[in-house]
Structure formats: C-alpha cells, structure tokens
Amino acid sequence: MMGVLLAGLALVSGCLTGSGRFTSETVGPAPFAAGMTDSTNGTLLVYSAYKRNADFDSSDPNRAEHSDYKILTEDGRLLRRVHNITPTALQDVTPVELAPGKYQVVARANGFGYLTVPVFIEKQRSTVLHLEGTGYWPDEAGFNDTNAVRLPDGQIIGWKYPDNL
C-alpha cells in the first residue's frame, strides 16, 4: 500500500517541481472568442489563488482577493509584477494588456502553490487563466480532452493553444 502511495506521489511530482515550475501546454484565448478592441495588443486575465490574509485597506475587506503574480518573457526574464485586484467595487482581477506572443505566468494556484504556466496572447483577444480552484467558465460545455489545459487533479485552467505557430 505504501509503495502505491509513493508511486502516485512521484507521478504527481513529475508535473510539479520544488521551484514552482509546472509543465503544461500553453494556455491561449478561447478558439471561438471574437476580438474585443481595436488595439494591436491582447489581454491577459489571471484568476490566481485567493490571498490567505484579509486586506483591511481594500474597498471591501470581507471579500476574497486574488494573489499577485508575475509575467515573464518566453525566455524567463521578468516583464511585470501584477497587483491582481482592481480598485473598483467589483474587485475583479487586473486585466493586463500585452503585445501578441508567448509569455510565462508565475502565480499561486489553489492547492498547488506557485506554478509557472505558459500563455499565448493574441491581438484583440483575451487569454484567461483560472488558478483559484473555482474556475467559472461560461462556455465550459465547449471543453474536451483535446482543447483544455488542466492541472494534475483535472481542474481546467484554460483553453489549449496550439504550440505549432
């Protein structure tokens, strides 16, 4: 029994490493989403794990807030640190406008600690990454085994982007 447990842990740890790395397929915009703006950039929305402690400086200290995260270039250089809450009453995640291309997001995922997930940004489209553990997908019926990027526990974190571009 102990050998089976250890083998299972070794299998899961093959996807996650101590450095907060996560080997996944690239997350991109929904395949059927229409363009959103006239901009030459795209938008990244990261629903990172919720902060562990209350923020009494918040506009609503009783509401959970998403944790901050980093955006790295494709080759791993720090591009931006994102304070992941808007100053509005809705306190949604912070939309980040980025030039089209591939990036890496380093963020806390509920139940997994810090992960690094590759994302692709397309012109005039939004790439959404759900790491908070309650990923709300209004178009969830469109996901299947070939177009969803998942955590090792099966949770969908985003739309799979074809890496052959």
- Residue-wise pLDDT tens digits, 100-111: 999 999 999 998
* 8 domain-assigned: yes
Query: What's the pLDDT score for residue 105?
Result: 97
- For residues 74 and 150, what is the distance between their CA atoms, to the nearest angstrom? 20
Find all residues with CB under 8 Å of 118, minimum gap 6, and list them.
Answer: 24, 25, 26, 27, 74, 102, 103, 104, 105
* 165 domain-assigned: no
* 134 domain-assigned: yes
Structural domain count, the chain: 1
Which residue segment(s) compose the domain that 36 sits in?
2-160
The answer to whether residues 121 and 46 touch, using CB atoms and an 8 Å cutoff, is no
6, containing H or E segment? helix 2-13
Query: What's the pLDDT score for residue 8?
Result: 40
**Which stretches of the chain drop beneath a pLDDT of 70?**
1-23, 33-37, 53-63, 88-91, 135, 164-165
Query: What's the pLDDT score for residue 21?
Result: 59
* 138 domain-assigned: yes
